[in-house]
Amino acid sequence: MKHNILIETEVCDLQHPDLALFFGSSESALLHYFEPAPGVFIAESPNVIERALFAGYEPIALLTEAQDAGAVRLAEQMESWLMQQKREQQIPHYVVKKEQLSKITGYPMTRGALCAFRRKELCSIEELCRDAERIVVLEAVMNPTNLGAIFRSAAALHMDAVLLTPGSSDPFYRRAARVSMGTVFQIPWTAMDVKKESWPEEGIAKLHSLGFKTVSMALRRDSVEIDDRTLHSEKKLAIIMGTEAFGLSDETLEKSDYTVKIPMSHGVDSLNVAAASAIAFWELGKRL
């Protein structure tokens, strides 16, 4: 007899208390859901949910649109995968009709499925960098859309890990994870603990102690060309990208080993940080 891991329940009212996890909790509340243990994040769309699942995150509740072919296939794949992992805990699977879900702002972006997952403990900087040669450091990048796009470029263009400084957005916020197409679950990342290492002074010193040369992306005349062979010959590079409004701090620039500027034309003086990241990762990901 088959043991069902997903326990399906049809829900007709979006105000049902069991749906509060999906629709009634702020990102901050989810982050602290199991405090002091790591909290919860909501993954939207089958593709993002699958990548979170395959990355080893534990699902705690699934919500899908009734009679949606993609959602049905996702539920079947999820149950099959959980059984292969010999996970025996039962997980609630809430099924809601499309006419109800369509009342939720932005629901079409979810493509018929949402899943709540438990977070994991973040690793240390030393663990993150142990086998890495090219890492990304995001200095207070606050826009979840930009953050998600940067993660997608980092995963695709030869970066090994991402380190977030204090003030950066959370990669597991719904919009960030969705924009990244789930690559936030595919590339290792951690957040700097300001109580342990101040940024940039102690943070950059830590990167140097781990063998990294630091490369700040900034609009400065004394910059090194992005295709400079010296950069390609460095065994370990930490590529530092700045906040959308103000770029990198003066202290970060002063403490960095290199400053690199992307050459531009037609009088354009800067690129969106997400667009700049793709160019930087493509070029600086090369090794001699």
For the segment 217-272, what is each residue's pLDDT rounded down to a tens digit? Answer: 987 767 788 999 999 999 999 999 998 778 899 999 999 999 998 888 887 877 89
**Given pLDDT bands bounded at 50, 70 and 90, which one contains residue 215?**
very high
Q: Which two tokens stand for residue 140?
A: 């207070």
Distances in Å between the alpha carbon of 143 and those of 108, 188, 193, 219? 21, 20, 20, 21
Q: Residue 42 carries which side chain, given as an amino acid letter?
A: I
pLDDT, position 15: 83
Q: Residue 235: what are its φ and ψ, rounded to 5°?
A: -65, -40
**147: helix, strand or coil:** helix
Alpha helices (H) in the chain, listed in sequence order = 20-23, 27-31, 46-54, 69-84, 98-101, 125-129, 144-156, 174-179, 201-209, 229-233, 250-255, 273-284
The pLDDT mean for the chain works out to 89
Sequence-distant (≥ 6) Cβ neighbours of residue 224 within 8 angstroms: 230, 231, 258, 259, 260
> What is the average pLDDT across 54-72?
87
Closest to 167 in 3D by CA, of 189, 190, 138: 138
Is there a contact between 121 and 114 (Cβ–Cβ < 8 Å)? Answer: no
pLDDT, position 1: 35
- How far apart CA 264 and CA 246 sit, in angstroms, is 19
Radius of gyration for the chain, computed over Cα atoms and rounded to the nearest angstrom: 21
Q: With 0.85 as the threshold, say if the pTM is over it.
A: yes
Report how far Cα 134 is from the mean position of its chain's Cα atoms: 17
Q: Which two tokens stand for residue 47?
A: 């593709």
pLDDT, position 172: 96
* Residue labelled with tokens 């997903």: 6
Query: How do residues 269-283 score in pLDDT, each as one tens digit?
Result: 778 999 999 999 999
Pick left, alpha or beta for residue 258 (phi over 0 → left; psi -120 to 50 → alpha; otherwise beta): beta
